[in-house]
Chains A and B, each alone.
Chain A
């Protein structure tokens, strides 16, 4: 009994600061250890066996698009969620360029435009794709949901930079209805705006990725087919990299998102452990109160 109360006493001493310290230490170590080859291999193996159905659905839909289809990529996130969203944008670009889809790339967030340009130029360079031929950069589009509404009426007035482009594939595109797919990677409400405005009103196919915290909110739209599929959070990012790169992945040097998954795994486990400790303390305290009352 003495040992139990000693442990409980120790647990009771846990304050906010202790939690912060433990989280910081655990995170730092797990980020360092995520480079260990053995951990990388296990992570990759388990992740490739448990790909989310929403990711698979989104991936297969893009796979089924005919060559030369025009798609819109909207990267609406800031550097803060780069870790979750960047791999999805990169995965989409690799898949789209491999399938010879024509990409119009925009961002409804000013910071997103810089990140998008970095991504698209890096991927295009590797895959030998040319600007104004295989893709167009629409840059930062002002107006948020107002801009999305405008896309339904006239794509080129909604995205002014398209007017200056002489890309061949833009000639047949008048409104968002002419797009085969809108792929939105969002950290805010823009994915929902695309579903509610372009999807519900103009019947455009919408798919995309989002941060993990938003994922729960998007499921009703997936279940009602208003959203084709979803790459949710870091898990979605890993799914995309694994689906797209498949055998090309070197098990000793896995993509960054798969590596980061180790840190996320550990921190999730840690939080579950904290919850268990909190409950042990809670039940012990209840037990003690009951015992005192009996006395």
Chain B
């Protein structure tokens, strides 16, 4: 029973959702309830995560075998979690409305500039300090690591070992230069508009290959879904034969 019940629930809800795609008018009511449940479960799941995070890090910071370095990291995690939650609950993510009233704009400014001006005047500690001054830069910093990693990965991977690799390398170079103004600037000496070539590669050659992979992935997705609906795939509930 422990195995059959989840499979049964999966099958019934799955079929209902598929039918909803085809007959939205007939099944609208019940599937909407199901979707509400999904959203509710997903929202509650965050509590589960937080609980696990606290337990794992508390244990790490208390256990004698942990390195000092790890212990400090764990304590920072717990502290920042608690601090952000408390401040967030008090101030919320709504921006401070009052700051908009006193906020005046120099009409000549173009928008991205205004925004920085505007952020400086945000006095809400949650959006002003935690979101704009801590979270945003940290997030952007991790993302910007990509620039370094792409450079080193490209240096290593793009070698013309054979004809296919040569084509890959050439098209990569054309697209990289075609998407930025400097490419057109350099190639204008030879009378070539490289942005047009890059547009052709992306919208014709690339789109054709992408389409093939997309269709194959789509079919693969359908098959996995059918495996779930028919109860062939059981590993997600613990495969017990």
In the complex, A touching B, CB below 8 Å? yes
Q: Which residues of A are in contact with B by a Cβ distance under 8 Å?
A: 14, 16, 19-20, 23-24, 27, 42-43, 46-47, 49-50, 52-54, 78-83, 86-87, 90, 94, 110-111, 113-114, 117-119, 121-123, 125-126, 142-143, 146-147, 149-150, 152-154, 157, 201, 212, 215-217, 219-220, 222-223, 233, 235, 241, 245, 248-250, 253-257, 261-262, 264-272, 274-275, 277-279, 282-283
A245–B108 Cα distance when bound, in Å, is 12
Residues of B within 8 A of A117 (CB): 94-95
- Given contact pairs A150-B35, A201-B21, enumerate 8 new A-B contacts (beta carbons under 8 Å): A117-B94, A146-B35, A149-B35, A201-B24, A223-B203, A256-B112, A266-B182, A278-B158
Whether a CB of chain A sits under 8 angstroms from the CB of B190 is no
The 27 sampled A-B contact pairs (Cβ below 8 Å) are A14-B155, A19-B148, A23-B148, A49-B184, A50-B195, A111-B139, A113-B93, A114-B93, A114-B131, A118-B119, A119-B115, A122-B118, A142-B42, A146-B38, A149-B20, A153-B32, A217-B214, A219-B210, A223-B203, A235-B179, A254-B110, A265-B182, A268-B182, A269-B177, A271-B151, A271-B154, A274-B151
Residues of B within 8 A of A255 (CB): 110-112
Residues of A within 8 A of B107 (CB): 126
Residues of B within 8 A of A279 (CB): 158-160, 169
Interface size of B in residues (CB-CB distance below 8 Å): 69
Whether a CB of chain A sits under 8 angstroms from the CB of B224 is no
Select which of B151, B161, B193 is within 8 A of A19 by beta carbon: B151
**A23 B38 Cβ-Cβ under 8 A:** no
B190 to chain A, nearest CB (A): 15
Residue of A nearest to B104 (CB): A125
**A94 B111 Cβ-Cβ under 8 A:** yes
Select which of A80, A86, A87, A264 is within 8 A of B180 by beta carbon: A264
B195 to chain A, nearest CB (A): 4
With A19-B151, A143-B35, A153-B28 given, is the CB distance from A269 to B169 under 8 Å?
Answer: no
**A122 B136 Cβ-Cβ under 8 A:** no
A50–B115 Cα distance when bound, in Å, is 27
Residues of B within 8 A of A254 (CB): 110
A272–B183 Cα distance when bound, in Å, is 11
The interface bits of chain B over 81-120 (1 if a CB of A lies within 8 angstroms of the residue's CB, else 0) are 0000000000001110000100101011011111100110
Whether a CB of chain A sits under 8 angstroms from the CB of B52 is no
With A82-B136, A142-B43 given, is the CB distance from A114 to B203 under 8 Å?
Answer: no
**A27 B147 Cβ-Cβ under 8 A:** yes
A146–B238 Cα distance when bound, in Å, is 26
Residue of B nearest to A215 (CB): B202
**A121 B179 Cβ-Cβ under 8 A:** no
Residues of B within 8 A of A147 (CB): 39
Whether a CB of chain A sits under 8 angstroms from the CB of B49 is no
Most buried by B among A82, A233, A245: A82
**B155 A275 Cβ-Cβ under 8 A:** yes
A12 to chain B, nearest CB (A): 12
**A23 B181 Cβ-Cβ under 8 A:** no
Residues of A within 8 A of B156 (CB): 278
The interface bits of chain B over 134-157 (1 if a CB of A lies within 8 angstroms of the residue's CB, else 0) are 011001101100011011101110
Residues of A within 8 A of B127 (CB): 114
9 cross-chain pairs, A with B, having the tightest CB-CB distances, nearest first? A256-B112, A265-B182, A80-B143, A79-B136, A46-B181, A265-B180, A219-B207, A143-B39, A80-B139
A45 to chain B, nearest CB (A): 8
With A142-B39, A143-B42, A146-B38 given, is the CB distance from A256 to B113 under 8 Å?
Answer: yes
**A268 B110 Cβ-Cβ under 8 A:** no
Whether a CB of chain A sits under 8 angstroms from the CB of B206 is yes
B107 to chain A, nearest CB (A): 8
The interface bits of chain B over 118-137 (1 if a CB of A lies within 8 angstroms of the residue's CB, else 0) are 11000000010001000110
